[in-house]
């Protein structure tokens, strides 16, 4: 999401006659588009600001702005201002469209802008973005979240759910496809609860999949409680919908899921997984897991391992529980010691590595439709419909942004290698 917000920022600045610099040393304006979902992201920003301080000492005219979710938290923004008084602009999550104007104000002599009001309007029309010319392009369908999982800061820094109008989304997708784009990822904190007042996610997805052209649609993120059977069946039925579903489980323990306020239990989650597998035996599944949520015992952790083995994900995004100030879980009794969290995540990563290796080995000899994303023509890479990366050989090197059939010939760890076939 932040990658796409930054693409929009580049487009906005280009309208104001400001172009992208090659690196921090060449820049007249440096903007940090931050994330606060876990502590690590915040620590990185603080570290980077230390480097920028030195640049600013050498070039006092340098304008430094910090925006995004991290600075949407009042207390964090104030602390940042005290610690780094050289920052010229501190603003929040949805203020991107105002940044060029704020920069102009600083250029005209204003010393400092501090504006944290959360903009909850839904942009009308097409989002203008300087696409990074990747094969995959992002399209927002909704903003914010209503779920209030007890560990998560997102609802506080991004506000309640609001959806873009279906017509605007379809038009944006159509323009991208007409411009040659082959893969679009629809973005939302919880895409399955998309609703613009007249249309739900099923209707949106169905209409997008009927647009003429040779392309794939992927989307993220799905909340297990909202992913409907109707949507699963639609993905199975329509060629343009990629067979890839990212379905965050978070924990394999019903007790922890309840404490997390996830509103599903393992039985309900597995029922969805079974339906996906039944309708699409070739579906690629990935997930997010948090280890070390408050009160998580060894037994709870082992239930997560069990669930991971049962689903057999292609890939897993594993996170150590990170205390986020202002969320209910941050003040829960029974915080798990850092050492235990680290030890559990290491075990989970090795369980998943074993699964990924086994699943990759099963691909040998199979042929996949692959969207090539390498431009240099030396090492050809691409992605499959189930979102696996594949490295392949081909006599034809001019394959960037083209679909090609690739037969998997060998695997190294969980990485797939193959050859283009007719």
Residues that bind ligand 5AD (CB under 6 A): 37-38, 151-152, 248, 250, 288, 290, 319, 321-322, 324
Task: Report how many residues bind ligand SF4 under the rule CB under 6 A.
Answer: 10
Rounded Cα gap, residues 123 and 163, in angstroms: 9
**388 binding ligand SF4? (CB under 6 A):** no
Q: 151 vs 301, which CB is nearer to ligand 5AD?
A: 151
Q: Quick one: what does residue 321 bind among ligand 5AD, ligand SF4, none, with the CB cut-off 5 to 8 Å set by partner type?
A: ligand 5AD
Residue 288 interface partner, choices ligand 5AD, ligand SF4, none, CB cut-off 5-8 Å depending on type: ligand 5AD
* Residue labelled with tokens 């922890």: 256
Which residues share a beta bridge with 245?
Answer: 285
Residues 31 and 99: their CA atoms lie apart, in Å, by 9
Quick one: which H or E segment has residue 214?
none
Smallest distance, Å, CB 139 to ligand 5AD? 19
Q: Judged by CB under 6 A, which stretch of 51-59, 102-110, 146-154, 207-215 contacts ligand SF4?
A: 146-154
Interacting partner of 190 out of ligand SF4, ligand 5AD, none (Cβ under 5 to 8 A depending on kind): ligand SF4
- Work out how close the CB of 251 gets to ligand 5AD at its nearest, in angstroms, rounded to a whole number: 10
Q: What gap in Å lies between CA 82 and CA 49, rounded to an integer?
A: 13
Element (H, E) at 235: helix 229-237
Rule CB under 6 A: is residue 190 a binding residue for ligand SF4?
yes
Q: Should residue 409 be labelled a site residue for ligand SF4 when binding is judged by CB under 6 A?
A: no
| Shorter beta-carbon distance to ligand SF4: residue 155 or 167 | 155
Short-list 233, 321, 247, CA closest to 284: 247
Please give the Cα distance from 329 to 324 (Å, whole number): 8
Determine if 167 is a binding residue for ligand SF4 (CB under 6 A): no
**107 in Cβ contact with 63 (< 8 Å):** yes
Stretch that binds ligand SF4, among 11-19, 90-98, 150-158, 375-383 (CB under 6 A): 150-158
d(CA 296, CA 150): 14
Binding segment for ligand SF4 among 112-120, 151-159, 197-205, 376-384 (CB under 6 A)?
Answer: 151-159
Spatial separation of the C-alpha atoms in residues 65 and 75, rounded to whole Å? 17
Minimum CB separation of residue 34 from ligand SF4 in Å reads 16
**Cβ proximity to ligand 5AD, 248 vs 418, nearer residue:** 248
Using an 8 Å Cβ cutoff, are 250 and 262 in contact?
yes
Q: What is the DSSP string of 37-98?
A: SSHHHHHHHHHHHHHHHHHHHH-TT-EEEEEESGGGSHHHHHHHHHH-TT--EEE-TT-GGG
Determine the interface stretch with ligand SF4 among 100-108, 147-155, 208-216, 275-283 (rule: CB under 6 A): 147-155
Q: Quick one: 149 or 363, whose CB is closer to ligand 5AD?
A: 149
Give the tokens for residue 396: 């034809």
Please select the residue that binds ligand SF4; options are 49, 67, 154, 363, rule is CB under 6 A: 154
Q: Is 145 in the site for ligand SF4 (CB under 6 A)?
A: yes
Residue 155: CB minimum distance to ligand SF4, A: 5
CB contact set of 168 (below 8 Å; sequence gap of 6+):
124, 125, 126
Taking the least distance from each CB to ligand 5AD, the nearer of 291 and 416 is 291
Residue 269 neighbours by CB under 8 Å, 6+ apart? 224, 247, 249, 307
Interface residue list for ligand SF4 (CB under 6 A): 145, 147-149, 152, 154-155, 189-190, 223
């Amino acid at each position: 999401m932040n990658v796409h917000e930054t693409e929009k920022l580049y487009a906005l600045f280009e309208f104001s006659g400001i172009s992208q610099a090659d690196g921090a040393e060449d820049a007249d304006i440096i903007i940090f588009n931050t994330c606060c979902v876990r502590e690590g992201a915040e620590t990185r920003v603080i570290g980077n600001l230390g480097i920028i301080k030195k640049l600013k000492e050498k070039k006092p005219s340098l304008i430094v702005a910090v925006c995004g979710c991290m600075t949407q938290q009042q207390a964090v923004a104030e602390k940042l201002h005290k610690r780094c008084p050289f920052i010229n602009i501190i603003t929040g999550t949805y203020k991107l469209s105002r940044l060029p104007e704020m920069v102009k104000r600083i250029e005209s002599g204003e010393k400092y802008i501090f504006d944290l009001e959360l903009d909850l309007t839904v942009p009308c029309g097409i989002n203008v973005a300087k696409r990074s010319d990747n094969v995959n392009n992002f399209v927002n369908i909704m903003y914010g979240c209503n779920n209030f999982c007890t560990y998560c800061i997102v609802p506080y820094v991004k506000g309640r759910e609001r959806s873009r109008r279906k017509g605007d989304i379809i038009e944006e997708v159509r323009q991208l496809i007409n411009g040659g784009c082959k893969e679009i990822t629809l973005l939302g904190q919880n895409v399955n609860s998309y609703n613009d007042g007249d249309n739900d996610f099923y209707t949106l997805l169905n209409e997008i999949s009927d647009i003429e052209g040779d392309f794939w649609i992927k989307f993220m993120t799905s909340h297990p409680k909202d992913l409907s059977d109707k949507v699963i069946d639609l993905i199975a039925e329509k060629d343009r919908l990629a067979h890839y579903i990212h379905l965050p489980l978070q924990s394999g323990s019903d007790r922890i899921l309840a404490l997390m306020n996830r509103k599903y239990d393992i039985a309900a989650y597995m029922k969805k997984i079974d339906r996906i597998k039944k309708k699409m035996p070739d579906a690629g599944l990935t997930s997010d897991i948090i280890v070390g949520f408050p009160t998580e015992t060894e037994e709870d952790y082992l239930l997560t391992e069990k669930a991971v083995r049962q689903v057999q994900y292609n890939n897993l995004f594993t996170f150590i529980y990170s205390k986020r100030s202002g969320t209910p879980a941050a003040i829960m009794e029974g915080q798990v010691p850092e050492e235990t969290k680290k030890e559990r995540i290491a075990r989970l990563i090795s369980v998943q590595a074993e699964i990924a290796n086994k699943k990759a080995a099963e691909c040998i000899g199979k042929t996949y439709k692959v969207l090539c994303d390498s431009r240099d023509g030396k090492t050809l890479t691409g992605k499959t419909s189930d979102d696996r990366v594949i490295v392949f050989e081909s006599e034809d090197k001019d394959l960037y942004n083209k679909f090609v059939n690739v037969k998997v010939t060998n695997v190294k760890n969980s990485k797939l290698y193959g050859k283009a076939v007719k």
